[in-house]
Amino acid sequence: MSAETYDFRKPGRLPGDFEHRLGAWLRDSCNLAPATWTRTAGFRAEVSLRGLEIGRPADALARMEETALGYQANLEPAAITTLIVLPRSLALLLVTSALGDGSTAPPADRELTMVDEALCEYAVQDLLLAPLQEAWAGAEPVRVRLRQREPNLRRTRILPLDENIVVATFLIQGPFGEQQWHWLVPHQGLLELIAQSVQGPAGSQEAAVRPRLESTVREVPVEVSVQLGHARLPLHQLTRLRVGDLIILNQRVTEPLVALVARAQKLRGWPGRAGSRQAFQITAPCEE
């Protein structure tokens, strides 16, 4: 059996230029949203971008409400699979909005019926996703197409579990109070989409755009992990392991540890401490 590598890195902020361009797109969509709500729901609602985070899907989904609803949404033509997450209270509000009766009272909490599901999907596409499409400023248009609902949001596998995602949180304020929803998008796919939006149609702009793209790529977070060692255990010993048992690794304390960059052995060094945090001091590159 091989011991899992220990990841010393936690996802941080988005690259500066990337966050600026992404934030500009999403905030522009928020500016278009009030007119959409007035036209479709019969009352005005203000929408704002509450935050942008980068992390792993499991961590993001663990923070969602137990009764939250998740819908697969595809970013086309880039073929990026994303996830829309909204609390059930917002889903029920969207249902009443889709009926167009002008009701602004928060609906009582309940399970959604099949009719509710269909109305909610229509409202999500029209009220939440249409402004995103309209606000896109790239040379080629994009479409955010709502697909099916995810039956088990916490265990969904439509997002790559071992890759970072961007979580955009939107706040909706109206006569019904405040509601928020989340858009979970694979980080790498979104980075490529934003980069393509500034390239232009022809090579005449390549010289001007290339430095910006290179600057953005340099700031892309790369996963770095450090191997503490490995061990092989017979199955009968593995099944008897208990809290407090000691597993001897094949790593000698006199030998440097190996650091992996994007799962490839790249660096050697020694474990240590920097203040209250664990650290890794690089001594040499790994030989090819």
Which segments of the chain are extended strands (E)?
A: 46-55, 69-76, 80-86, 143-150, 165-174, 177-186, 224-227, 257-261, 264-274, 277-285
Q: Which residue has the higher pLDDT, 202 or 263?
A: 263
- The strand pairing partners of 180, in sequence order, are 171
Mean pLDDT to the nearest integer, 182-195: 90
> What is the Cα–Cα distance from 279 to 256, expressed in whole angstroms?
13
Encode pLDDT of 90-106 as tens digits. Answer: 999 988 887 766 667 77
Summarised one tens digit per residue, pLDDT across range 265-281 is 888 888 888 877 888 88
Maximum pairwise Cα distance, the chain: 74
Which has the higher per-residue pLDDT, 38 or 12? Answer: 38
All structural domains of the chain: 16-218 (3.40.1550.10), 224-285 (2.30.330.10)
Residue 223: pLDDT band (50, 70, 90) is: confident
Which of 131, 141, 87 lies closest to 109 in space, CA to CA? 87
pTM here is 0.66
- The DSSP line for 146-181 is EEEEESSGGG--SS-TTS-EEEEEEEEEETTEEEEE
Q: Which two tokens stand for residue 183?
A: 């858009």
pLDDT score, position 90: 93
Q: Which helix (H) or strand (E) holds 237?
A: helix 235-238
Phi-psi group of 86: left, alpha or beta (phi > 0 → left; psi -120 to 50 → alpha; rest → beta): beta
**Cα–Cα distance, 83 to 178 (Å, whole number):** 21
pLDDT at 199: 56
